[in-house]
Structure 1
């Protein structure tokens, strides 16, 4: 059998003092018991740090104290982190996947429209031109521009699922006007 240089410590005789001190620190029986267990694990793993001839009880109580202080620091850090995460979560930007999906669907639908409707929609809706300016740019009457816009918007709503189906008694959404 191989001997180690670790001194033999009489820990069992000090358990009452450790429990009492832990109870004073935690004010809770279950937490005090957990604290004593954690401190004993530390004491056993650090038994080589105890110097023979020094008070074992004082050394064990110091370990209980330091374990408690470490726990309190960790709990404060966890609470601060949880609070920060809570603040950040409330300020978080919602995911944009749905918006991206709808935008790509709208662009795809826009590209399927006849050129006249696409031109009118892009100039008015995307470029922000006034109806009169867009009609002048395209060289068409204002009424024609408004008609193309209405048909284009209606076709986009139908293609993207935002406008429902056309009633049976109405004209089709897409109609080429020459």
Structure 2
């Protein structure tokens, strides 16, 4: 290594919050997201030898997470539907018009995100929420750069339309 990089484990630990956010955006269930991150960390540690220490760890680890999500989704499809008892509605504990409007907007945005095709939702989450570059997103998803840009454009338009924004 030409420049001094932190050890692999420290770099992996530093990206855990980002991995969790991405996992949560994919599966929409906290416990499943935690399992997904745990699987990702295990796979990353097992595959540490294939990581190039001269590159950023984020795209590499996000790709592992996405592949784990695909594996998990395939397994889930063969098991059938499951109910999450932790998804019970929470009581509103705060008053105020702004808080209520903000919660409604977040809910509407999450619902609108759920209506997007998975390919568009993934690109939108990686670029807009996780602040990955188009190139990194292309690498994570294994698609050409132009595909990333067109999916992102379509996702932004569809999201704006679903939310009634111009």
TM bracket (short chain): 0.3 to 0.5
* TM-score, scaled relative to structure 1: 0.39
- Name which one, 1 or 2, has greater alpha-carbon Rg: 1
**Which protein, 1 or 2, shows the higher relative CO under an 8 Å CA cutoff with sep ≥ 6?**
2
